[in-house]
Amino acid sequence: MHSSTAHPAPRIRWRRMVRAVPPVFWVFTLMLVASVPLLSVYSRAGGMSWAFLSNMLERSVTLGIVAVGQTFVILVASIDLSVAFVISLAAVLASFIMQGNPAMIAVAVPVILLFGMAIGLVNGLLVTRLKVNPLIATLGVGLIIQGVLSTTFQNFAGSVPAEYQQLAYGKPFGIPAPIILLLSLVGVASYVLHRSRFGAHVYAVGGNQEAARLAGIRTANVITSAHVIAGLLAAAAGLFLASRLGSGAPWVGPDGIYDLESIAAVVVGGTLLTGGRGGVFGTLAGVLILGFIDSLFNQLGIDPYLKQVLRGAIIIVAVAVYSVRSREEVA
């Protein structure tokens, strides 16, 4: 009798852990498994390998950083289209301030992060105080940034020192530094969202802003703070991109389509555009799916335009599935 009842608790814990994993992670896992024979037969560079996966992860870090910030904004039922331009600003300022001098790293990094937070604050105030539609407000701010950058810097603005490039190419304990950076960021963001009062307020405001206001939550402050976080992480993404490229130029953010890509990653990851539901682990899975499609198409030598078709289809299907599930749960 005793032996038959000794194991249910661990089994229950295991089931809870499995259920806690966002469903989109299982989709990513299935994509990986399904691609193994495909790569083995058709890839010009060999089959599935750690090098393939590591390269995919490292190339996804910039998008991952900015997508985590975008998650906070979308969770409060807002959006940020300025992030791509903030990435450009951060990358340009990093190379312009550092000019290859390691001593300037300690100056450039905090200054650039403060710039990102300031831009996020402006976005938040436009949305909450002046009641400007977030699409219009953030796009307008982004275009102003792009205009200033394009008239001030016509080309690469300088270079970052080799020491700073260790952020993108270093391997502490044999693990690529970008992977450590992204996973650490996701862990911290998840803790903030699920273990702090601010995180609870984020979900409350996104779920029902009026109910949150009546409950005593300062909804404008929460929305503004979410935009500040998005600005901060967009600047951090620009700093990382400068480390990876060795320099920065006005077009690196828009050329990477980081505004729309970050929104796509968040949506594919299960965060509702209407706010109040989702999280950064789902966003991470969304980033991995988009990064995997990139790497797979490159490895197989497939027309890159087909990649955009597949991405669009994935986004449409994801939004449709989450919308249906949301309506069923409400019913």
pTM of the model as a whole: 0.89
Is 109 a domain residue? yes
Is 8 a domain residue? no
pLDDT digits (tens, 9 = 90+) for 121-142: 999 999 999 999 999 999 999 9
Structural domain count, the chain: 1
- Domain residues for the domain of 76 are 48-330
The three-class DSSP label of residue 175 is coil
Is 35 a domain residue? no
Q: Are 21 and 279 in contact (CB under 8 A)?
A: no
Residue 197: the pLDDT is 97
pLDDT digits (tens, 9 = 90+) for 24-71: 777 777 877 777 776 676 665 566 677 778 888 888 999 999 999 999
CA atoms within 13 A on the CB side of 189: 29
- Which two tokens mark 68? 């985590």
Is 42 a domain residue? no
pLDDT digits (tens, 9 = 90+) for 230-251: 999 999 999 999 999 999 989 9
Is 239 a domain residue? yes
CA quadruple 172, 91, 183, 25: dihedral positive or negative? negative
Please give the C-alpha separations between residue 153 and each of 95, 97, 140, in angstroms, as whole numbers: 12, 13, 20
Q: Is the pLDDT of residue 5 over 60?
A: no
pLDDT digits (tens, 9 = 90+) for 148-168: 999 998 788 789 999 999 999
Q: Are 267 and 319 in contact (CB under 8 A)?
A: yes
Is 15 a domain residue? no
- Which two tokens mark 24? 């989109």
* Mean pLDDT of all residues belonging to the chain: 88
Is 37 a domain residue? no
Looking up residue 236, the CATH number of its domain turns out to be 1.10.3470
